[in-house]
Structure 1
Amino acid sequence: MTTENRIEPRQLGSIGPSVFPLALGCMGMSGMYGATDDNESIATIHAALETGVTLLDTGDFYGSGHNEILIGHALKDRRDKALLSVKFGALRSPDGGWTGFDGRPAAVKNFVAYSLNRLGVDHIDIYRPARLDPQVPIEDTIGAIADLIKAGYVRYIGLSEVGVDTIRRAHAVHPISDLQIEYSLISRSPETEIFPVLQELGIGVTAYGVLSRGLLSGSIPSTQGDFRANLPRFSGDNLAQNQRLVEELKQIAQEKGVRPSQLAIAWVLAKSKNIVPVIGARKQTQLAESLAAVSVNLSPADLTRIEEVIPQDAIAGSRYDQHQMQMLDSEK
């Protein structure tokens, strides 16, 4: 089934590319949620492109480079069908741990060289620091990416999980296409201060975590290596309370004849045409389920009812652990 001729694309901000309303997030294809199958992952990427999806989102640190190599294999004969969004800067140790962040200009240009090689491409469409490096002025990091644009290695600059001050400072150096940030029915803090500034500056949104890492679809950690087991929202009494909220979402979804995951994605799509949800599908079945959300129409009354049934302050637990939350510029 091809939907690209009847689905209206969305532009990432005033200067960014035009993309399918949903993007495919590839992080889960490199072990963050447990064991994966490279063949199924590649088949899922191919299915997404064939259905009209244009934007693939990855990070050079996903699987310590595995994710980029995987995408490179998937795009070997179809690079012209995809736009690549790549995050950089997170540092990994040989045992898979996390050792910090590097946003220095020299590091940026080093990171992009390895990404281009692993992906097997001559340019990256959107390049973005995954977090703010507190030791490096954002102007320096963005200036380095601007140099890469001049050299032809990058097309657009994006940001990820940064706050209002950082957004303004970055945009003053070079126009920003979009901010990638967690946003969902139960993670709505960007609405207060960040989204108004993005609208003012003409910056789009690529929203990840729209299913709150599976919480809104009823998925819970069940395999070894699933990082969600350490997240507050999936722990102890928090999980029990949050699952009760999800039951309310299931009831509305049942009334509309859709799955809770589709309703949650449709809610994000309906909030603003400036938002492109990033769907973390690892399998073709998950992809197909998520893509169906594009056809779910929600009225203003529907949005109000959903938000009344699941108010933002009802969720138990933060989206990351305390240490990670303190590192997020977007939460300051």
Structure 2
Amino acid sequence: MNATTSDSLAEFAARHGLTKSAARPPLRKYIADLWQRRTFIWQFASSKSMAMYTSSRLGQLWQVLTPLLNAGVYFLIFGVLLGTDHGVTNFVPFLVTGVFVFSFCQRSLTAGARSVGNNLSLIRALHFPRATLPFAFVIVELQHLMVAMLVLAGIVLAFGEPITWHWILLVPALALQLVFNIGVSLIIARMGAFIRDVQQLLPFIMRTWLYASGVIFAIPAMAHKFKDHPWVIDLLAANPGSVYVELVRTSVIDSYRDDLVTLNWGTGHLWWYAIAWAVVAFAGGFWYFYRAEERYGRG
């Protein structure tokens, strides 16, 4: 097609009010379109969640069994064999809480990485905001987390932790983590849509992140090992994986709050970190994903 033909087609389209079907809309309209599909996002997520384990005999129980089995393995290796429970009075609730909360982040990012690339037929068949897909896949993991939190509450109570007013703080803590997860998943979704190797690298990245987030050990208890390099502990404590895990722990584990007092470790900074990470990740991730809207599904 030569330039003259292209120009004539463009003039014809403009004259009849035709627009590119895959063109990126203005940001305000894009957000409005996404909001209009909020019910679809939840229903799509619910159907995905229900279908995820239909071929398994235990079905939806795997939503809880998977993080529980992971926690059991970590407890055997790091709690019994390596003894990483130093500085923690009630290690089992400490460990299970860390595994459940970090799994929410881990699974959200993993699902986000394949949310666009694995749904190309849907993208090419229908016109809708592509951000719908990463949003829906993170909501799937949120639904799994809601079930896991009920199990976590039972475990925490079974190991002698009381119910206190701090439990109310679970709601804002998990809400901030949800916002953070959506933002990072949008970033990973765009990268995964064009660079499939991201899906292969992500498990190694997530495993490294898990070990650096204090899921299997108390970061404050490690401070004495880095007394000559305190910035290492500050860096570990500021990373978002640790921030959201610690917020949930200090909300539901009363003895852990006492442990932090013993270790002379404050927690007031956690909320500021949590808010900052959520805002930066969501705003940056949404903008980054939106900028490539018209490119998804091509090729």
Same-fold status (TM-score > 0.5): no
Question: Which structure is larger by alpha-carbon Rg, 1 or 2?
Answer: 2
Q: 1 or 2, which has the higher helix percentage?
A: 2
TM category, shorter? under 0.3
The structure showing larger relative contact order (alpha-carbon pairs under 8 Å, at least 6 residues apart) is 2
Provide the TM-score with structure 1 as the length reference: 0.21
Q: 1 or 2, which has the higher strand percentage?
A: 1
